[in-house]
Amino acid sequence: MTAYCIAKMAMSGERGTLDEATRGVQEFVATHPDSYRFFEATELLGDLLNSRGLFDQAETQFARLVESPWGDLQQAGRLKLARTQELQEKFDLAAENYRGVEQVESATEASRRAKLSARVGLARCTAFQGDPEAGIATLQEMIRSESSTDVDLFAQIYNALGNCQAAAGRKKEAILAFLHTDLLFYQNADYHAEALYHLGPLFPSVGKGPEGAAALEKLKQRYASSPWASRKPAGS
């Protein structure tokens, strides 16, 4: 629990460093492989490695979850594995894993939410693979059919919609999508940081340089420890 708390504070930027947090969780995973919290720690280690931009190492941790004995944990691991692959632009592998998440036969609430996130991710991958219109259609249907009170889901949807609109060359529509996350669905730090990261270069592309600079400044001030704050500019 000490390692868990240090990790959560580091990832939120509240206290400590990501390096320190990673060492603590790595030590637990290495010395307590039989603990009932082993897989929880493994998932946390993957999250920390992602926060540091060490995506290939994070993949290894999430792959361990996929090999676990429990279906919901396998599904959660596959979802995070897919997202990590997507961040490395391994879109074919990511899409395959997103489909794997959707195909799991489970009626639990955790499984249902994982499938919704996988549907969002698959729509985004579809755009990056050259068919943004198909991704946009999927996401717009989800906006109509799902409840906007689910702020985490809608932040994912609108960020993905921004990606798809940008891939289609519609920059103003992409800005509008990311602004939904920035102004309405900002409660999840990771999704909010992602939206700000994309707004940074999108605003100047339509003649709104100060707005882009303000978005990047907000990203650095609020989410300094987020991988989005240190990620190279979109399109570079």
pLDDT value, residue 142: 98
Average pLDDT over every residue of 198-219: 97
Instruction: Kindly give the interhelix angle for 91-102 and 71-87, rounded to the nearest 10 degrees.
Output: 160
Does residue 233 register a pLDDT over 90? no
Quickly state the pLDDT bin for 231 (edges 50, 70, 90).
confident
pLDDT value, residue 234: 64
Measured between alpha carbons, how far is 23 from 7 in angstroms, rounded to an integer? Answer: 10
pLDDT value, residue 71: 86
Domains and CATH numbers, the chain: 130-236 (1.25.40.10)
Does residue 225 register a pLDDT over 90? no
Average pLDDT over every residue of 126-140: 97
221 phi and psi, to 5 degrees?
-75, -40
> Is 114 within 8 Å of 151 (Cβ atoms)?
no
* Residue 37: partners with Cβ closer than 8 Å, 6 or more residues away: 28
Q: What percent of the chain has pLDDT over 70?
A: 98
The residue that leads in pLDDT, 7 or 123, is 123
pLDDT value, residue 15: 73
DSSP 157-215: HHHHHHHHHHHTT-HHHHHHHHHHHHHTS--SHHHHHHHHHHHHHHHHHTT-HHHHHHH
Average pLDDT, rounded, for the chain? 92
Does residue 9 register a pLDDT over 90? no
pLDDT value, residue 230: 82
Quickly state the pLDDT bin for 163 (edges 50, 70, 90).
very high
> Is 114 within 8 Å of 101 (Cβ atoms)?
yes
pTM score? 0.90
Average pLDDT over every residue of 153-170: 97
Does residue 146 register a pLDDT over 70? yes
Quickly state the pLDDT bin for 235 (edges 50, 70, 90).
low
Does residue 236 register a pLDDT over 60? no
Average pLDDT over every residue of 1-25: 84
